[in-house]
Amino acid sequence: MGPAEAPAQAPTEPNLEAFEVLDLPDADAYRTGDGRPGPLYWQQEADYAIDVELLPEENRIEGTQTITYTNNAPSELNFLWVQMDQNLFAPGSRGEAVVPPDARFSGFFEGGGYDVSNLRIEHNGTMYTPEYVIDDTRLRVDLNAPLAAEGDSLALTMDFSFELPDYGADRMGMFDAEEGTVYQLAQWYPRMYVYDDVSGWNVLPYLGQGEYYLEYGQFDLDITVPHDFIVTATGALQNPDEVLTDTQQERLADARASRSPVTIIADEEVGDPDTRPVSSGTLTWQYQADDVRDVAWAASRSFIWDAARADAGTHTVLAQSLYPAEGLGGGENSTPGWEESTEYVQHSVEFYSERYTPYPYDNAVNVGGIVAGMEYPQVMFCSVDARGRGLFGVTDHEFGHTWFPMLVGSDERRWAWMDEGLNTFMNLYSTADFYGQDIERVIRQSSQQAARFAQSSLADQPIMTQADHIRRQALGMLAYRKPAVGLALLREHVVGPDRFDAAFKTYIDRWAYKHPQPSDFFRTIESVAGEELDWFWRGWFYETEGADPAVAEVNVDAATATIAQQTDLLLPVPVELTFDDGSTQMVRVPTEAFATGDTHTISWDEERTIDHITIDPQQMLPDVDRSNNAWTPSE
């Protein structure tokens, strides 16, 4: 069979580089070529037993912890690396040297940082005090005897304390509520660095902007506070009889079966001695969490508390909100406040559970305080000042992080987009669903934002820029919005919802409670969707240009039009042909049509009279110049 005839293509510069195989790490026994964990994949385990006390008179934390660390790697370890995130706030820290004092990720103060003592190792029945060195936000512990490969474990114990920052890099801190300070505790205990098959020890320092890469494990957490404080934390409360009243336990039981929020502590009950099971001294709240990468907690005398049931697959989740009275909406016509929070939590848990994979925990807690928005397993910190759509947006975003990076444990310190971008992509659909928006309109607006950014002075950094190296003015676009709209275009415009959704869910299933790399994501999407996408990853994630498809030439007599790609960002081009009788014809020019040149010629029935031609009539592409998207006959 001979070749089919096609309109002649004028020779232009080929785009072969755009279609070259992306330079990804070679597949091996740990990570396969189709994006799965390999047959010899391994990762470490870090289990924590932490006993901590909040001293509100001093705004100080004192604690002791034991980390049981298991080496599942195929090589022995002669030392350990531990993250000391509170040292970010110490005078003279590396973070203070690079982060402006008025920046979001600041909070440096005299007296900041850890005091560490009584550091001990127990290994193979021997207890000893190891040699160690603390360098800024990193602690290296030298072992007297190697930690053997493939299953050996040891216990690392230490005492630690620190003064709380008022504002801790927008991830923790203290909100001065009228009824009592709201304490939000995160990055508060020394945590193991990840040792993996890609980089060995991942010891990038904590500078504030780059987030976290953490091992999974079991946490046993005892939190001691004054008797009149309410505490919420990652995990399941183990001793409710000791820290809650009978009335509060009954209300929580009602909430687990109620779709409408049930008040656990009402506004008018805050500060009432009857809301506490004892009248003096301290109480210790005991929490336990399995298969989590972190724990966070909050404590206050000022908490209003409500809860309701959310459904996640075959199990139910207790959606909860704790916040001071400053979070309430005020007045008949004012924007709703935190009294709506639990409804927002319900929506997020249920939407993402149904669309992707069920929410994996029994509790989903939103805490109002000084932190604008930050995610932790089961506990989210959101601004007490947020209202209405703003409160929904930050709540939905933070709970979306349950899937990335709490469930799928990517390396946030290097690749911010792997959690922020994937989560923001999911948020587009959740927000549209909650408010009844047209998702095409939402994506169109996001795509146009990306096009404007591509023309800005900040556009010279690609998405694949290490988190701490992204200019702070560009973080919102490069880590959040640009990867989100790229994935939305991939879903809606390149491979289609059915194939994309199957691939995206497969990625979650494959890498739940594991540590994927960017190549694992790219390969999974390609393999399951059945589409070679090196050109897309290169153009959208590794390079920086916007798109600019154009109608380059029209030959009415020959019934042909030449479509040009005028930048290196190649995307499929939808072209609408409108004829003189008002009828239309859509032509989709696939990206592969531009492999051998910047132009491609389309044609139509010569018996029909063309009236006008429009590229991307729905304006879904991130087009930097729409002035060349249309053609009409000259007068």
Query: Would you say residue 16 has pLDDT above 90?
Result: no
- Please, where are the H alpha helices in 388-496? 388-400, 420-435, 439-454, 475, 482-489
CA 398 vs CA 60, 175, 349: distances in Å: 27, 19, 11
Amino acid at 186: A
DSSP label at 22?
Answer: P
Find the mean pLDDT for residues 513-538: 98
CA 253 to chain centre: 31
Query: Would you say residue 629 has pLDDT above 50?
Result: yes
What is the four-CA torsion angle of 478, 479, 482, 483, rounded to 10 degrees?
130
Query: Would you say residue 2 has pLDDT above 60?
Result: no
- pLDDT value at residue 438: 97
Residues with a catalytic annotation lie at 398, 480
Find the mean pLDDT for residues 346-363: 98
Find the mean pLDDT for residues 242-256: 98
Higher pLDDT, 335 or 357: 357
Range 271-284 burial, b when 16+ CB lie within 10 A, else e: eeeebbeeeeeebe
d(CA 351, CA 384): 24
- pLDDT value at residue 15: 77
- pLDDT value at residue 5: 40
Query: Would you say residue 334 has pLDDT above 90?
Result: no
**Which residue do the tokens 């879904």 mark?**
620
Range 523-560 burial, b when 16+ CB lie within 10 A, else e: bbbbbbbebebbbbbbbbbeebbbbbbbbbebeeeebb
Q: DSSP readout, 471-485?
A: -GGGHIIIIIIHHHH
- Tell whether 397 is in a known binding site: yes
d(CA 545, CA 463): 11
d(CA 86, CA 61): 11
pLDDT band at 330 (very low <50, low <70, confident <90, very high): confident
pLDDT band at 288 (very low <50, low <70, confident <90, very high): very high
The percentage of the chain sitting over the pLDDT mark of 90, rounded to a whole number, equals 95
Cβ-proximal residues to 440 (8 Å cutoff; 6+ apart), any chain: 492, 618, 620
Query: Would you say residue 174 has pLDDT above 70?
Result: yes
Tens of pLDDT, residue by residue over 96-110, are 999 999 999 999 999
- pLDDT value at residue 12: 59
Find the mean pLDDT for residues 357-365: 98
Query: Would you say residue 345 has pLDDT above 90?
Result: yes
Query: Would you say residue 372 has pLDDT above 60?
Result: yes
pLDDT band at 491 (very low <50, low <70, confident <90, very high): very high
Find the mean pLDDT for residues 64-92: 98
- pLDDT value at residue 17: 86
DSSP label at 6?
Answer: -
Both structure tokens of 157: 């114990």
Contact 67, 47 (CB under 8 A): yes
- Tell whether 420 is in a known binding site: yes
Contact 350, 306 (CB under 8 A): no
Tens of pLDDT, residue by residue over 114-129, are 999 999 999 999 999 9
The percentage of the chain sitting over the pLDDT mark of 70, rounded to a whole number, equals 97
- Tell whether 250 is in a known binding site: no
CA 446 vs CA 106, 452, 480, 489, 493: distances in Å: 29, 10, 11, 10, 14
Tens of pLDDT, residue by residue over 380-430, are 999 999 999 999 999 999 999 999 999 999 999 999 999 999 999 999 999
Q: Across-strand partners of 382?
A: 368, 373
Domains observed in the chain = 420-542 (1.10.390.10), 548-631 (2.60.40.10)
Instruction: Indicate the length of the chain as a whole number.
Output: 635
Minimal CA–CA distance to 588: which of 454, 499, 503, 492?
492
Tens of pLDDT, residue by residue over 4-15, are 344 444 445 667
Find the mean pLDDT for residues 31-43: 98
Cβ-proximal residues to 328 (8 Å cutoff; 6+ apart), any chain: 267, 304, 337, 338, 339
Both structure tokens of 385: 């000042």
When the pLDDT of each residue in the chain is averaged and rounded to a whole number, the result is: 96
Cβ-proximal residues to 571 (8 Å cutoff; 6+ apart), any chain: 489, 493, 494, 536, 539, 547, 549, 591, 621
